[in-house]
Structure 1
Amino acid sequence: MSADALRIALVGNPNCGKTALFNLLTGGRQKVANYAGVTIERKEGRFAAPSGRMLQILDLPGAYSFDAVSPDEQITRDVLEGNYPGEAPPDLIVCVADATNLRLHLRFVLEVRRLGRPVVLALNMMDAARRRGIEIDVPELSRRLGLPVVETIAVKRGGAQALVERVDGELPQAAPAQADDAASRSGLHAQVRELLAATVRMPRQTAELDDALDHWALHPVFGLAILAVVMFLVFQAVYAAGKPMTDLIGDGFAWLGAHVAAWLPAGPLQGLITDGIFTGLGTVLGFMPEILVLFFFILVLEESGYLPRAAFLLDRLMLSVGLTGRSFIPLLSSFACAIPGIMGTRSITDPRDRIATILVAPLMTCSARLPVYALLIGAFIPAHRVFGLFNLQGLVLFALYLAGILGAMLVGWVMKRIRRDQGDHALLMELPSYRLPKVRDVTIGLYERGMVFLKRLTGVILALTVLMWALSTFPAPPAGATGPAIDYSFAGHLGHWLAYPFAPIGFNWQMSLALIPAFAARETAVAALATVYAVGGDAGQLAPALASHVSLASALSLLVWFAYAPQCMSTLAVIRRETGEWRNVAISFGYQFVMAYAASFLVYQVASVLA
């Protein structure tokens, strides 16, 4: 980044289209990191303006007000005020507002203007405003605000042209900075009413299409049924659409590993590359299609505007189990990964509700569990059709996700009974308009999540896979040994020792050993099993090897274990950082271990009797 690049901060209320505008401006020229000292995501990108000037764009977390009640809003306020350590203040602030809902967004625009910094207002979603018959007198709004106002359509190619031309010119004059106090903030509502009366004409407060869809989507009975069907179909699609690609990738790595082995001389190097890298790492990579399918549907639901409605719909149910409707979106994010889900709890203003959501978020079935589920389901559950329509393997996958949800509800209910504050905190939120997800935004989201998975694959998972191969290979068996060579290795000794505490839940020593690297990253359980069985002499793919060595009862027990087991080290570290207490880390790890062991014990014992 050149030293003379113009630093531009994009700010706005949640659901204003700010991130879509950021994607439109920067495309793939983005980098994602965290703010110093916190786990709040920091997205930064750049692009060259028509004049050749380099523009550096910072996508700040969404905020409703500078009267910050969440860590996200505090970050936005501190960066804009120039008070965030290690973060230079922006040269220009672009305040993005939803043109269909200026009543809500203009208040924040007025707060930003009072900072005394150059500001441009981007009226986004102008195409949707025109379709609804909303008329905005842009020149008059600009005159009354005392700052430039441009129209944008973040979901349309070229929809930010007016904004680019404006920021590429001379910086607008900053309004005088004003004091921020409770009395002055109360006066903002009156200013918003005056601005709306003078510059905006709208035939109705909400869109007819939104009202028609919400009649069903927010219905207390039909709405819940629709939500259940949507989630059920998502999990069916994860297995139905992702499984063929997973099999293809697995076969490809097996073929490639066999050919590479033929080129290499027998010895440790051949074993490392074939049994360690191709078998271990390739097995995990094979499940990437199923993970991306899950990410795709979450992104589509998010971009469509349906997720906030699901949160609103589930508010009463979640209150009954000690959570809140605001918990829904962080918990849904936890289906991809518990870390952003836990970070997403910053939007929950009540500390009690936030802690409760953080502690139950790890029970949501994150994508790192998906390789384990897909492996065991593919090896032990036949691909039968139920009622001639539903895939039995998809039904089992849905049941595992449902088990995590029910477990979270149970834990929330227990926490509600044992804490002192028994009050409920109802959900108040603004519902965005429905919109069609844009291919560009979904593609960028999938790319970002896919790269995170690949970085983990080539980082911690690769390191743990190589370590597991070394532990499974060395030391070599002594002269005259009659048992399998792996039994004499470090992994063999450690696995046989771990098998004792896990024998009551049906785990053999290979399964017990795989739990250790899984604590660093869940996916490595699959890589560890693949490596251990490959070194032990079971050539070929992992699923047939498991089917020949593991009983159905043990496989079901392992599935249930991963539904409730303690989260990875990274998640526990985020819990510590977000809550500031090791006590919450100990509570999270402890109750999940007890739940996982108890549930696996019950499933194994019952399945052993029925088998």
Structure 2
Amino acid sequence: MTTIQPSPTDSTTPVATEARHDGRQELLRVAIIGNPNTGKTTLFNALTGLRQRVGNFAGVTVERVEGGFKGPDGRRITVLDLPGSYSLSAGSPDEQVALEVLLHRDADRWTPDVVLVVIDAVHLERNLFLASQVLELGIPVVIALNQFDVAQDEGIAIDVPELIHELGVPIVPTVAKRGEGLDPLKRALITAASLPAPARKFVLPADVEDALAPLKSCLVEAGLTPTAAGMEALRLLSVSKSEPHLVTVPQLQVQIQDAMATLKNRGFTPNRLESEVRYAWIAGVIERTVSRPRTIKQNLSDQIDRIALHRVLGPVIFLVLMAVVFQAVFSWATPLMDGIEVLIGALGGAVGDRMADGDLKSLVVDGVFGGVGSVLVFLPQIAILFAFITLLEHSGYMARAAFLMDRIMRTVGLHGKSFIPMLSGYACAVPGVMATRTIEDPKDRLATIMVVPLMSCSARLPVYTLLIGAFVPATSLIPGLTLQGATMLGMYLLGTVAALAVAAIFKRTLLKGPVRPMILELPPYRLPSAWSLLVSVAQRCQLFLRRAGTVILALSIVLWAMATYPKSAVDASLPAEAQQEQQLEHSVLGQIGHAIEPVVRPLGYDWKIGVSIAASFAAREVFVSTMGTIYGVGSENEAALTEKLVAETNPVTGQRVYTPLVAIGLMVFYVFALMCISTVAVTVREAGGGALGWKWATIQFGYMLVLAYVAAWIVYAGGTALGWGG
């Protein structure tokens, strides 16, 4: 049995990092890390508010969120929100990113001056494992003892002064969702920057220290501080797969194998050594600092889970919640959409009235207001969808959804943990693909990446809403649910079922492998912070607006030019709309459309739909702006575009171009087709980069396009055969 003893005070502990000595006295860099479900992101949002920027770590696509605030002393404090990690074991790509930053191996050279470790006060024992690793990195540390109010409500008494004594770093109780403890926390971060960095709080047996000494020396030569090398040497004993830096450091792999062999000869189990020594120390800390009530009553979360996780009621509740979400997307957003439509119409009309007739006016009114405005009107629906997804995630229900889906996911070769990135795909496929980094098994991660884009993302909402609003009546099915809401839910369910079916095919062919058991923490149910919800929704809306103001604007201008030139002679005796149609027929866009038409005609589409589909390969929502540009709705936006689509007829046959059957087939096409350059790019990088990444991205794009075409053809041909084509 290994004996762990407290370490003596070490006055020679290395102080801080090189970043603290480069003359940047006005900037303090703080990296925030913690286990999932500790309220880390809520605390980050509370500290930084909306003063954040989102990007990616260099060389990887894990989302990088930075924010900042001004400290009590006037100093500028920059905060980097590291991915949630249970430890620094680097078992997943997310944990690998956190380790790279904390060991100063980040490609961006983002070197923290202070590390803020967020700990769940209710689950102190489990959270202290990560904290104990961070304490050994040679960087000043502050601990936020978050959800302190929940611990008190459950009768858990934590002796904070004694805990400070045990860990040797500032500890601040916080309630992030209510903003409690923020001021003391900010002061602690500034104070910690001038304190000596902490060191290991326990002593390893002499035999272990001797066995690890050569490995530690090798790591110090590779650039780590002595304290960080001690942590890394102990961690590497349990590493089961190669990491990038193991290849670049000469003799490191040899030293790891030698250390493991020596420890085995001395009676230790190397891959369990770190967890044994850390948890032995943690047990002593908990015994001296925490007292719990003798009788543990069933908490509210357990009582709710008896219903929410029921084998029958659980899936029904999940389905009802999804129906509420999609019905709300229609009913709640309507007043806001009408308001935006009136505002855009007024702005477009005011600008158009002050311009002389001609191409410039057409560009502004039809190209800019008609293209971008037709997409901006859907912002309320996207905001509502993001709000619901964020609410489900922050409340703790998202983990339950993954648990409920585990039984279904296992039948297709995955486990419930893969469903979390798929649920994220409802908002956007890009973060959904990036969220697969929490999946340890490479084949499971790749299979999930390949199907995430099948989940209907928010970019499909403008397409669904336009077509459902025009061709699906708002007939009430049951109280609170209309045929429109049910159709929207049907599109999302279709994508989800297809994703599961395709995942089963991949896991039985190209990515065949065993089904691994799922280990998933179910966080307690919480009422999310209104501010945190606002920040999350605002960030996503900003990204949507940025795309509307860049990609969609640029494409709208290009499409307007293609629809306007070259100029051709038109019959002046015809009505204005007929003249516009004649000009459009002979334009570059019209010529391209007629070339595409034979390909899309079997699906019931005309050349205008074909052009809009082709344009939306950049981004799905461009379909709506392209239709707005083609039909020249100007600033009148959705209502006018809907009227145009409903009234559109084939000039030869006189039949309506758009019917409910065509609309359903078009929505089915967009359920399956991968119309998003950003998703292709992130798949390339997440699937391995280079030729390997492009191989998987090509397979993904190809199978989704074929699936979309075949499914849309089946809908149109089958519906026509049944007499539903009118």
- Structure 1 length normalisation: TM-score? 0.96
Instruction: For 1:573 and 1:459, locate their aligned partners in 2 and report how far apart those are by CA, in whole Å.
Output: 18
- The reply on whether 1:104 has 2:126 as its aligned counterpart is yes
Q: 2:279 aligns with which of 185, 189, 210?
A: 189
Q: Alpha-carbon deviation of 1:199?
A: 1.3
Distance change in 2, residues 1:81/1:243 (3 Å): same
Q: Alpha-carbon deviation of 1:556?
A: 1.6
Aligned residue for 1:595? 707
Q: Alpha-carbon deviation of 1:223?
A: 1.3
Q: Alpha-carbon deviation of 1:175?
A: 2.5
Helix, strand or coil at the partner of 1:433 = coil
Instruction: For 2:390 and 2:184, locate their aligned partners in 1 and report how far apart those are by CA, in whole Å.
Output: 28
Say if 1:14 and 1:62, in contact at 8 Å, map to a contact too.
yes
Instruction: For 1:206 and 1:111, locate their aligned partners in 2 and report how far apart those are by CA, in whole Å.
Output: 33
Q: 1:521 aligns with which of 606, 619, 633?
A: 619
- 1:373-405 alpha-carbon deviations (Å, 9 max, x no partner): 000001111111114542111111111111101
- 1:137-536 to structure 2, matched below 5 A, reads 137-169=159-191, 171-176=194-199, 177=227, 178-179=230-231, 180-181=233-234, 182=237, 183=270, 185-186=274-275, 187-203=277-293, 208-387=299-478, 389-419=480-510, 421-478=512-569, 484-534=582-632
Aligned residue for 1:17? 39
Say if 1:561 and 1:599, in contact at 8 Å, map to a contact too.
yes
The size of the alignment, in residue pairs, is 611
Helix, strand or coil at the partner of 1:122 = strand
- 1:497-551 alpha-carbon deviations (Å, 9 max, x no partner): 1011110001111100011221101111000011001189999711111112222
Say if 2:373 and 2:635, in contact at 8 Å, map to a contact too.
no
Instruction: For 1:596 and 1:463, locate their aligned partners in 2 and report how far apart those are by CA, in whole Å.
Output: 27
Instruction: For 1:526 and 1:147, locate their aligned partners in 2 and report how far apart those are by CA, in whole Å.
Output: 56
Aligned residue for 1:62? 84
Of residues 43-52 and 180-189 in structure 1, the stretch that sits farther from structure 2 once superposed is 180-189
Q: Alpha-carbon deviation of 1:479?
A: 6.9
Letter in 2 for 1:441: S
Say if 1:66 and 1:74, in contact at 8 Å, map to a contact too.
yes
Instruction: For 1:328 and 1:536, locate their aligned partners in 2 and report how far apart those are by CA, in whole Å.
Output: 41
- Percent identical among aligned pairs is 42
Helix, strand or coil at the partner of 1:7 = strand
Aligned residue for 2:144? 122
Instruction: For 2:120 and 2:534, locate their aligned partners in 1 and report how far apart those are by CA, in whole Å.
Output: 23
Instruction: For 1:11 and 1:388, locate their aligned partners in 2 and report how far apart those are by CA, in whole Å.
Output: 45
Instruction: For 2:44 and 2:503, locate their aligned partners in 1 and report how far apart those are by CA, in whole Å.
Output: 37
Task: Report the aligned-residue RMSD.
Answer: 2.1
Q: Alpha-carbon deviation of 1:254?
A: 3.2
Of residues 425-434 and 372-381 in structure 1, the stretch that sits farther from structure 2 once superposed is 425-434
- 1:214-236 alpha-carbon deviations (Å, 9 max, x no partner): 11112221111111111111111
Letter in 1 for 2:521: E
Instruction: For 1:54 and 1:389, locate their aligned partners in 2 and report how far apart those are by CA, in whole Å.
Output: 50
Aligned residue for 1:545? 644
Q: Alpha-carbon deviation of 1:301?
A: 0.6
Say if 2:158 and 2:289, in contact at 8 Å, map to a contact too.
yes
Instruction: For 1:155 and 1:109, locate their aligned partners in 2 and report how far apart those are by CA, in whole Å.
Output: 22
Instruction: For 1:419 and 1:158, locate their aligned partners in 2 and report how far apart those are by CA, in whole Å.
Output: 51
Instruction: For 1:205 and 1:107, locate their aligned partners in 2 and report how far apart those are by CA, in whole Å.
Output: 24
Of residues 94-103 and 135-144 in structure 1, the stretch that sits farther from structure 2 once superposed is 135-144
Q: Alpha-carbon deviation of 1:3?
A: 5.8
Letter in 2 for 1:542: L
Distance change in 2, residues 1:93/1:269 (3 Å): same
Instruction: For 1:205 and 1:341, locate their aligned partners in 2 and report how far apart those are by CA, in whole Å.
Output: 38
Say if 2:443 and 2:511, in contact at 8 Å, map to a contact too.
no
Q: Alpha-carbon deviation of 1:417?
A: 2.5
Distance change in 2, residues 1:422/1:79 (3 Å): closer
Aligned residue for 2:696? 584
Helix, strand or coil at the partner of 2:33 = strand
Q: Alpha-carbon deviation of 1:255?
A: 4.1
Aligned residue for 1:78? 100
Instruction: For 1:561 and 1:193, locate their aligned partners in 2 and report how far apart those are by CA, in whole Å.
Output: 57
Say if 1:473 and 1:489, in contact at 8 Å, map to a contact too.
yes
Aligned residue for 1:135? 157
Say if 1:473 and 1:535, in contact at 8 Å, map to a contact too.
no
Q: Alpha-carbon deviation of 1:87?
A: 2.0
Helix, strand or coil at the partner of 1:332 = helix
Instruction: For 1:206 and 1:524, locate their aligned partners in 2 and report how far apart those are by CA, in whole Å.
Output: 54
Instruction: For 1:77 and 1:269, locate their aligned partners in 2 and report how far apart those are by CA, in whole Å.
Output: 54
Instruction: For 1:230 and 1:207, locate their aligned partners in 2 and report how far apart those are by CA, in whole Å.
Output: 25
Q: Alpha-carbon deviation of 1:318?
A: 0.7
Runs of 5+ consecutive residues of structure 1 not aligned to the other structure: none
Instruction: For 2:635 and 2:536, locate their aligned partners in 1 and report how far apart those are by CA, in whole Å.
Output: 41
Instruction: For 1:491 and 1:531, locate their aligned partners in 2 and report how far apart those are by CA, in whole Å.
Output: 11
Letter in 2 for 1:325: G
Instruction: For 2:108 and 2:513, locate their aligned partners in 1 and report how far apart those are by CA, in whole Å.
Output: 41
Q: Alpha-carbon deviation of 1:312?
A: 1.4
Say if 1:486 and 1:535, in contact at 8 Å, map to a contact too.
no
Q: Alpha-carbon deviation of 1:169?
A: 2.3
Of residues 574-583 and 205-214 in structure 1, the stretch that sits farther from structure 2 once superposed is 205-214
Instruction: For 2:562 and 2:71, locate their aligned partners in 1 and report how far apart those are by CA, in whole Å.
Output: 55
Of residues 286-295 and 149-158 in structure 1, the stretch that sits farther from structure 2 once superposed is 149-158
Aligned residue for 1:557? 665
- 1:140-195 alpha-carbon deviations (Å, 9 max, x no partner): 22222222222111112343222122223253321231243234523112112221
- 1:14-62 alpha-carbon deviations (Å, 9 max, x no partner): 1111111111111122222111122111111221222222222111111
Say if 1:2 and 1:54, in contact at 8 Å, map to a contact too.
no
Say if 1:472 and 1:535, in contact at 8 Å, map to a contact too.
no
Aligned residue for 2:14? none
Instruction: For 1:480 and 1:243, locate their aligned partners in 2 and report how far apart those are by CA, in whole Å.
Output: 40
Instruction: For 2:634 and 2:325, locate their aligned partners in 1 and report how far apart those are by CA, in whole Å.
Output: 37
Instruction: For 1:524 and 1:597, locate their aligned partners in 2 and report how far apart those are by CA, in whole Å.
Output: 19
Say if 1:28 and 1:444, in contact at 8 Å, map to a contact too.
yes
Say if 1:99 and 1:126, in contact at 8 Å, map to a contact too.
yes
Q: Alpha-carbon deviation of 1:487?
A: 0.5
Instruction: For 2:24 and 2:602, locate their aligned partners in 1 and report how far apart those are by CA, in whole Å.
Output: 62
Instruction: For 1:436 and 1:536, locate their aligned partners in 2 and report how far apart those are by CA, in whole Å.
Output: 44
Helix, strand or coil at the partner of 1:10 = strand
Instruction: For 2:389 and 2:39, locate their aligned partners in 1 and report how far apart those are by CA, in whole Å.
Output: 17
Instruction: For 1:416 and 1:587, locate their aligned partners in 2 and report how far apart those are by CA, in whole Å.
Output: 15
Q: Alpha-carbon deviation of 1:365?
A: 0.3
Aligned residue for 1:604? 716
Say if 2:665 and 2:716, in contact at 8 Å, map to a contact too.
yes
Instruction: For 1:583 and 1:198, locate their aligned partners in 2 and report how far apart those are by CA, in whole Å.
Output: 56
Distance change in 2, residues 1:479/1:397 (3 Å): closer
Instruction: For 1:477 and 1:445, locate their aligned partners in 2 and report how far apart those are by CA, in whole Å.
Output: 50
Of residues 421-430 and 167-176 in structure 1, the stretch that sits farther from structure 2 once superposed is 167-176
Q: Alpha-carbon deviation of 1:332?
A: 0.9
Instruction: For 1:536 and 1:505, locate their aligned partners in 2 and report how far apart those are by CA, in whole Å.
Output: 28
Helix, strand or coil at the partner of 1:100 = helix
Instruction: For 1:384 and 1:519, locate their aligned partners in 2 and report how far apart those are by CA, in whole Å.
Output: 33
Of residues 22-31 and 278-287 in structure 1, the stretch that sits farther from structure 2 once superposed is 22-31
